[in-house]
Structure 1
Amino acid sequence: MRKLPPLSAIRVFEAAARHEHFTAAAEELGMTQAAVSYQIRALEDRVGARLFERSKGRVRLTDIGRRLLRPLTDAFDRMDAAFAAVRADDENMLSISTTSTFANTWLAWRIGGFQMEHPNLAVRLDASNSLIDFATTEFDVAIRAGEGEWPGLHATRLFEIDYTPICSPRFMEEWQNEHGDRDMEPHDLVGLPRVSANDPWLDQWLTERGVEVPDRPPQPGVQLDSQTAEGTAAMAGRGIAMLTPFFWRYDLTEGRLVRPFRETSSRGWGYWFVCPEHRRQSPKIKRFCEWLLPTARGDHEAARTAGLDI
């Protein structure tokens, strides 16, 4: 166990010894001259020897003070270098946590644009549906789905999450062949296979369309945990999936998926940029936020304007 005097007193001594001037040390450290004098006296009492000679308003190091100055200055320089290296490493790496859906359908396709604008900043992207704890992980920012209520975090809304029934062209064609090529109606969805067997989003969408959804116990079957998985299963013809059209606009445009209805629903949820409140002014976080917000919002609005959220 180290038997060191208080580090605050050591820090004051090192500054006062370099300057051989208590007032200059006080200015450097943002302290009063009286506080500097108090810390020096406390350290001298701890050491059991005088560290400065005081004469006519001036101070000079004693032999013991001079012996202490060089190794203490070297120690503070090494500590400063160590923390500077950590700060440099931190500012050179941005760690992002987001949902697998947002990562795979949007962010992973565009994060290269951010890196081209900031070539000296490396990016680590983690796609997981689990909420992270900023206090116990090394993530800098996150993009989360929800209502934006996360105590202690700064949250900025990117765009609303809406959703609608979507399926494969083959699934739609088979249904129409069975029903005389008539248009599908919302009530037709009640008995159709669902990609996720107990998806509550479909029940809400049906209720909003005036369809009575029968009470039923949980159904056996697969329950997928992300739109990425559900969209892929829908393309394979496994049934109806509740998807956000914006994320699947290219698959809809290119005919890998079809959208039977124009109507969408929302739970009031959105995608949000979040970070710890006390870190929102970090340069790398500000740079990412300044890129993400206009890029995501602009892309979302452009898709709507061009009718690509079909």
Structure 2
Amino acid sequence: MPKRSLPPLTALRAFEAFARLGRMNLAADELCVTHGAISRQVRGLERHCGVRLTEGPRNGLRLTEAGRRFAETLAGAFDGIERSFLALRSAAERDLHVSCVGTLAMRWLIPRLPAFHARHPGLNVRVTEAYGPVDFGKDPFDAAIRLAERITGDGLEATPFLENFHGPVMAPALAAQGLAAAPRLHTRPHRQAWREWSLHTGVELADGEDHREYEHLFYMLEAAVAGLGAGVSPWIYVAGDIASGRLVAPYGFVRTPARFHFVAPAGGQRPVVAAFREWLVEEAAAAPPPVLRALPVPAG
């Protein structure tokens, strides 16, 4: 693609403002510069073009015929740029790109999004699976949802909106054999789930011999539904499965130190971000509470 042959854009902007407003001082006020700066830019543009664009005394400059023709062309180009810019900004005010831990997105957030769209029909939400630290300077997201004890990082504003409870879940038929006898299900990214549950409950289970590992938590939960073993899951991921009878949690759930946080850039919030955060907090407040651990868990 050939290189563009364009005069300095700052000079074009100064000349367009002068031609549209008719006076150097008005152009200077609009562009927040001095009268002299506008004059220098216009003179520099004339030298660059090799054509006089203005004529008359310094305190009464007017456009030459060449200047009028050039100003008309510039006005159309600037109008097109302005229209495109306003359209982009309008779309940005309607769109929200959220990065979210995958299982929460699948099992809790996305099934509830129709309620958000019903309340805000002009807004669009796009959800992308992500787990790492939040960095809005690097990542193409407007907001994020993470499960953590605390959110750290410069320029971040974190709103905890949902407590986290976890506990062992399994298929109803497998529950009759007892937790100690069930194969232990794990996920590769979070193999410490059983150890954390033991820490939070004070229950020590023998390590056992039968362990099965899955790449993602939602795979592990489907394995639990299929009767392949027992796995530790956050309550919010399995509330629907327990209500429908696909899974049972015979020993209930226990609170963890971690919470789900809504993370956004610190400072002034775009209206779509504020609307989504408000709705998220309301949805979390209406979520069904878990059955807390009440039955003793047999060790062994």
Structure-1 separation of matches of 2:292 and 2:56:
79
- Which segment is superposed worse, 127-136 or 113-122? 127-136
CA positional deviation for 1:15:
0.7
3-state secondary structure, aligned to 2:250:
coil
Among candidates 84, 87, 91, match of residue 85 of structure 1: 87
Structure-2 separation of matches of 1:260 and 1:144:
28
Match of 1:225 in 2: 216
Match of 2:234 in 1: 244
| Contact 1:98/1:126 (<8 A) preserved | yes
Match of 1:194 in 2: 184
The alignment-based identity, stated in percent, is 33
Match of 2:61 in 1: 59
More strand by percentage: 2
3-state secondary structure, aligned to 2:72:
helix
- 1:121-151 Cα deviation digits (max 9, x unpaired): 2333334556786556654332222332244
Structure 2 residue ranges without an equivalent (≥5): 294-300
One-letter identity of the residue aligned with 2:90: A
How many residue pairs match? The answer is 288
CA positional deviation for 1:26:
1.7
The TM-score normalised by the length of structure 1 is: 0.79
Structure 1 residue ranges without an equivalent (≥5): 176-187
Match of 2:273 in 1: 285
Match of 2:198 in 1: 206
Match of 1:299 in 2: 286
One-letter identity of the residue aligned with 1:270: R
CA positional deviation for 1:56:
6.6
- 1:244-300 Cα deviation digits (max 9, x unpaired): 12332333344332223245252x32222223447x62232222222222222x124
One-letter identity of the residue aligned with 1:272: H
| Contact 1:196/1:223 (<8 A) preserved | yes
Structure-2 separation of matches of 1:70 and 1:150:
49
Structure-2 separation of matches of 1:208 and 1:100:
24
- 1:222-255 Cα deviation digits (max 9, x unpaired): 23422x3322222222212111123323333443
| Contact 1:197/1:220 (<8 A) preserved | no
Residues 1:209 and 1:282: Cα distance change in structure 2 (over 3 Å): closer
Match of 1:270 in 2: 259
Match of 1:124 in 2: 126
Structure-2 separation of matches of 1:118 and 1:212:
48
| Contact 2:108/2:236 (<8 A) preserved | no
Structure-1 separation of matches of 2:266 and 2:5:
37
- Which segment is superposed worse, 195-204 or 239-248? 195-204
